[in-house]
Chain A
Amino acid sequence: MPDLLELTGVSASYGRIQALSEVSLRVPEGRVVALLGSNGAGKTTTLNTISRLVPVTSGSIRFDGKPIESWASHQVVEGGVVQVPEGREVFQDMSVCENLEMGAYRRKDAAAIRADFERVLNYFPKLRERLQQRAGTLSGGEQQMLLLGRALMARPRLLLLDEPSLGLSPVLVQQIFGIIDRLNKDGLTILLVEQNAAVALTCSSYAYILENGEMALQGASDQLRRDDSVRRTYLGH
């Protein structure tokens, strides 16, 4: 499989704080690749350099063979790289419906947008009942669904997921990962950031582990799952 996304020696910093140094990773088309690491390891920063919210100080980012490290954030979205951010980054004072429509902001194919709207509501039936509700009043789990739905409305080719399980009950975590699995089976390529290493290593085919902004370990997910040091540090047994 050709790589849909390829980071080579990417460094980034916030002022004097070096957040990433020489990070390299590859996401082959059609796969789920996991990016793990403890708090402050630089996972979100990595996604944000790809989404062009954080500038890179050196290194290159290629999407579909094209260098994108100097693109603007809206160009990346238009190119098909869409991030589901951590936290509850919905448009609080807009309705659920408007939030989903905002997801399709860069698209002009009205008929296909309507079809995707239906598709998203089929993925998340809860949202259908709440289309007119103010997004800020949704529960945490519902907001996470909305974020995922909003990202799908952009018709991504590559989905960047930042801790989709954070703060969700086990049932919801299962539900979200069920959907992630289905999306991937439908052909979507996914870069998944997670702290919940057990779940992430189950649903990904390959995984990277960041420590203090550097790539510490990488390998096939089922191998990492059996690796002793990984088990001790990230799986807790």
Chain B
Amino acid sequence: MTLDVAFLFLQQGIASGLIVGSVYALLALAIVVIFKTSEVPNFSQGEMVMAAGYIALYLLVFQSLPLWIVMPATILAAFAGAALFRRLILNQVARANGSPVNLVIATLGLSYVLRGFVRQTGFGDTPRSFPPVVEPESILIGQASVTTLDLVILATAIVVMAAFFWMFKYTKTGRAMRAVGMNPKAARLVGVDLTRIHMIVWGLSGGISAVAALLISPKVLMTADMGSIVTLGFAAAIVGGFTSLPGAVVGGFLIGIIENLVGLFITSRAIVLAPFLAIMLVLVIRPQGLFGGRVEIKKV
């Protein structure tokens, strides 16, 4: 490999990496925001993405609704579905037996229900493709080749993340979410309605998952198993420290870039290993993740 080619690969890897990475970053954000406020890893995150994808597909292809209705409708439906799941199912589980394990099992249950449902309806039988939002046209940035669709994906992801961070940092509800994450008991003592905050957190997580679904659906074949893409979101979250929202975003971009560089410089068959490589590297160098706080030994 000459230096010229290596430089070209580097540019292409970073450009493509940033684009898929932005979707991983969204997924990681959706995972971490739930974990941060309830210490429950949501194992149905992937199926939430998949279900949102199929809602969009249904509205667009079978109801022939225009895109400007389909997109907000899908995001709203995912927000409402996730918030209701938290309110109706998880609250009940928590009340019956507060141990986190049961909550995790409930999220696993939801993942099976959603996958089963898509299979039942027959939508999931044949892999389908989602029509792209914009006609993909090739553009050169430096020497890297990307499409207009890619740029729309990246821009949308960045706008959604910026809006989310603004909400989290500056609004009263965002501050209440942080408070619940830091100290749920203290949050209740200042009058935070935990049920409401948990619903909003799940709703936002569902909404972000829906955005991710809308962004990737044109690029992948949709099946009932497409939720497995969230594995990369989990990897990004781990790289970022699992409780850090900025960490989740950086982790997402990093994994996207590493995947692409591995594909270009080594072999495309090694791509699946890339996220695990990244996790191992980060865990060896910084066991708490890139942005995780100090490793704390909790005094019981």
Residues A82 and B182 in contact in the complex (CB < 8 Å), given A98-B175, A105-B172, A105-B176: no
Task: Please determine whether B186 and A90 come into contact, CB atoms closer than 8 angstroms.
Answer: yes
Other-chain residue from B182, B190, B195 in contact with A93 (beta carbon distance below 8 A): B182
Which secondary structure characterizes the binding site on chain B?
helix
Chain A residues near B190 (CB-CB < 8 A): 77, 82, 102-103, 105-106, 150, 154
A97 to chain B, nearest CB (A): 11
Confirm or deny: A78 has a beta carbon within 8 angstroms of a beta carbon on chain B.
yes
When distances are taken between beta carbons in the complex, the residues of chain B under 8 Å from A83 are 189
A72: Cβ under 8 A from any B Cβ = yes
Q: Which of B164-213 contact A (CB under 8 A)?
A: 172, 175-176, 178-179, 182-183, 185-195
Bound together, the chains give a CA A91 to CA B187 distance in angstroms of 8
Q: Which residue of A lies closest to B176 (CB)?
A: A105
Q: What residues of chain B lie closer than 8 Å to A150, measured between beta carbons?
A: 190
Q: Inside 8 A of B182's CB, which chain A residues have their CB?
A: 91-94
CA distance A91 to B172 in the complex (A): 15
Which B residues between 78 and 128 are near A, CB-CB below 8 angstroms?
none
Residues of B within 8 A of A91 (CB): 178-179, 182-183, 186-187
User: Is B189 within 8 A of A89, CB to CB?
Assistant: yes
Q: Are B191 and A89 in contact (CB under 8 A)?
A: no
> Quick one: given A72-B193, A74-B191, A106-B191, are A53 and B172 in contact (CB under 8 Å)?
no
Count of residues in A whose CB is under 8 Å from the partner chain: 24
Chief secondary structure at chain A's binding surface: loop
Q: Give the distance to chain B from A109, nearest Cβ to Cβ, in Å.
A: 14
Residues of B within 8 A of A51 (CB): 188-189
Known: A94-B178, A94-B182, A105-B176. A53 touches B188 (CB 8 A): yes
Give min CB distance, B87 to chain A, whole Å. 14
Question: Are B179 and A74 in contact (CB-based, < 8 A)?
Answer: no
A37 located at the interface, meaning its Cβ lies under 8 Å from any Cβ of chain B in the complex: no
Residue of B nearest to A77 (CB): B191
State the Cβ distance, A193 to closest chain B Cβ, in Å.
14
State the B residues within 8 Å of A (CB). Answer: 172, 175-176, 178-179, 182-183, 185-195
Q: Show 13 residue pairs from A and B whose CB-CB distance is below 8 angstroms, ordered by the A residue.
A: A73-B189, A73-B191, A74-B191, A77-B189, A85-B186, A89-B186, A94-B178, A94-B182, A98-B175, A102-B179, A103-B190, A105-B191, A150-B190
Q: A53-B185, A91-B182, A102-B176 provided; 17 other pairs, C-beta below 8 A?
A: A53-B189, A72-B193, A73-B194, A77-B189, A82-B190, A83-B189, A85-B185, A85-B186, A93-B178, A93-B182, A102-B190, A105-B172, A105-B176, A105-B190, A105-B191, A105-B192, A106-B190
